[in-house]
Every structure is written in C-alpha cells, then in structure tokens.
Amino acid sequence: MRQSLISAHEATAPIPVYAVSEAGLPNLLSKLGANATGWAERQGYNAQAGRSLMVPLDGGGQAVLFGTLPENLPHPFALGTLANDLPPADYELQEPFPAIAQALLGFALSSYAFNRYRGGASGKQPRLVVPEHVDIERLQIVLDGVQLARDLINIPANDLGTAELAAQVEDLFNAHGGSGSIVVGDELLKGNLPLVHAVGRASDNTPRLADFTWGDDDAPKVTLVGKGVIFDTGGLNIKPGGSMSLMKKDMGGAANVLGLASMIMAAKLPVRLRVIVPCVENSIAGSAFRPGDILPSRKGLTVEIGNTDAEGRLILADALALADEESPELLIDMATLTGAARVALGPDLPPYFTNDEDLAEDISIFAEASEDPMWRLPLWQPYMKYLDSQVADISHINTSGTGFAGSITAALFLSRFVENAESWAHFDIYGWTPSSKPGKVAGGEAQGIRALFDLISDQFSA
C-alpha cells in the first residue's frame, strides 16, 4: 500500500482523473474533446456512480472519468474500485474532487494485496498523486499500520507461531527505540500469569507474553492489550471443521494492536505507550486445560472453566490485570473474542464496551469521521449474574443456560480484571473481510485502529 500514493514531485506524467456526475458528463466531455466524447458514447458510459472509463484526448494522452452522485462520491472510499480497474501508471485527481483525503485513503486501502505465498505476483500498481494540501506523511503512517495488521492476520499459523508473533512485537518496538521483555513457558507461572500458561501449555508452540514500552516515562500512559491466539482448535471443546478454518485470524486483536502501536510510534505521539500481547495456541493434548477446571488468575480471582473454546478472555484477563496495575490513563484491549458479536452486528461493525461516557462518545465521533465504523454495546451490570459460579469466584462463560448476550458477558468478565485504569475500552473485532469492497480487501482486516489513532492523536496532542 505504501507504493499506491506518491507526492507530486515523484509522479511521472500523471493521467488526470475527473469526478463527474451524469448531469455534468456532457460539459466535461466537451472540454476534453471529440476523441473523449466519441469513445464515451461508443462505450455507453453515462457516469454511473462508482464506474470509471479511460478516454483518449485530442492532443494525445488519456484521462479517467469516475462517476459520482451529483455532489459527492457514492461512498467516501468508492475510489477504491479504481485500484483494481486502472493499469499501472501515475494518476492525479482533478480539483474539485469531492472528499479528496478520504478518496486517496480508499484508493490506497483497496490497493492492498497479500502476495507472500504467490509466485510471479507483479509489484507494479497504479499510483495516485497526493496534493500538497493533504498530509501524505500521516496517510502513509496510517497505511503502514493497516498493512501490518492485515499482513499478520493473513500469515498462516505454520509461519506465525507464538515465538514469531512475540518477535513481531519486539521488532516493532526495537525499530522505534522501545524496549521490553518476553516471558516464555513455565516462566509465566513464576511471573504470575497462570491463565496465559494454562491456555497455551498443551501446544508445541510454547506460550509467552510480550510486554514492551516506548516513549517518555513521564508522558500519559496509553496501554494496548491484544489477544494473540495464533490458532484456536477450541481445545477439548473442539471446534467443528467449518468453524476452525479461519482460526489463523484468532490473533487479530494482537495484529490490530500492533498496527495501532505502529501508527502511534511513527507519528511520535507524546505518550508513554505500552503493548502487552499474550501469545498462545489453544491446542489439544494430555496437558490441555479442561471444562470444569478451576484456575487461578493474576488478579487473585479463581476462574471456573465452562468451555475451553472461550480461551481468549482468559489470556486477556491476566494481561489486563498486568496492564491495570500501573493505572494507565487509557487502557484498550482488542480481541477476536465472540461469535455473538458477529451475530449481533455482522463482520464490518465491531462492538466496543466502556463505562467512560466521554470516551464512548469520542470513539463514536472519530469512528464516523474516519469511516472506521464501530458500535457501542453496554456493560449491562444485571448480566453479571450470568457469570456466577458455585465453586469459584467467577465463571468465564454464561452459566445461565440461555446462551444470551455472549459478547456482553465476555466484556463483563474482562471488566472484573480492570479497576485502576482511568479509562478502559474493550473492542470485540472480527479482523476479517469476507468479500472485497471499496476500502476493504478480502482477508485479514484492520478494524477500529484508524479511528483510535485519530482519537489518541487528538486526546494526547503535544
């Protein structure tokens, strides 16, 4: 995606791109000349919203027509369709082009391709010129973070194990001058991270927890926690095959957290950033944790296991308790946590949970402004009774027998492990785009992190 946008001085004879409505088409064609008019007529082009056509110009060269509604693009990211329609060359949007910054972003997001395992894939692609009044550096920071998240999710578990995921955290922070540590295997027990150890101990991919920081120690503390389950069989409550096929993406929370961390550090935001990623594989072996087990947690709460396929909230519980101990100003966790969230809101609209009303409103505002949609669901306290256990301090799944409110009860469980943070928000993301659309490419997806980057930039500006 980095190669899809260029500055004006880098461009080579850019081809102009015109936004045009059906009503404005005749006037534009008359200005472009007889060759353009004749070609458009022969192609039956009438500037349908989202449709493009390359036309010849009388004096040589070409231009691109892109259909819009009378005043605006059919969708802010609609220009993303051009990323696949245009041949490799440099292109320049002609003013007044509507929502130009969002149009550029949509084009670049749609230019993503995951070709790591495909031989012969071409590196050439169409490139758009970024006007001088648009901050190309910030656009590239956002695009690099999105690409990192998408790439990590798309890599299969045979190449992205727990060691490799933890190394991604370390490499990212090292590249920006950060530091930290990785706790591995039985050292998790010595470090009082028993839930992380219990979930990951059955796998040959040794469980571990990466904990890294960056920035001035005196700056406001922003802590990100990401679920890093590199593959989820469901454990002894094994998933059916159809439900297991996409489980390489169960580290999508970690991938998105790393994408957001990349943006924060590249932009040099004035915060003390901390990222905690518990890295495990939920596997099946004689040492696997079992339904009915009662496990200790870092927080001191004992947890009754109702279903081993609800492992993500367990490793997050220890990670959140660790993060919460230093009372960060902002604590965010992201996880591909529940199917219930998908049933409620579908793949494109992740829910978020927080008791901070100001933070909730800010998330909503920045999500809408950045075309990075999210929807608030409540931390509905009456449902906390669904987590009652007769033998432990808490059950980690709904014990009511109803199966209701799965995403809410998961969030409520996590809330029991956060008490000191000034503000906390939990994001139950999908981390995947089932089919391509403008701004989204089928496969691993960054969800929420563009909005959160804008929010953190605004809230913690220098």
Show which residues are catalytic: 239, 313
User: What would the two tokens of residue 269 be?
Assistant: 């935001």
Q: What is the rounded radius of gyration, in angstroms, for the C-alpha atoms of the chain?
A: 24
The gap between the terminal CA atoms of the chain, to the nearest Å, is 29
For residue 240, cis peptide bond before it (omega within 30 degrees of 0):
no
Number of helices (H) and strands (E) in the chain: give both, helices first.
Answer: 15, 20
Token pair of 211 as six digits: 């904990």
The phi, psi pair for 426, rounded to 5°, reads -115, 130
**DSSP helix/strand/coil, 386:** helix
Cα separation, 81 vs 76, whole angstroms: 11
Candidates 325, 331, 321, 318; CA nearest to 222 is 331
The string of DSSP letters for 141-195 reads HHHHHHHHHHHHHHS-TTTS-HHHHHHHHHHHHHHTT-EEEEEETTHHHHTT-HH
CB atoms within 10 A of CB 352: 25
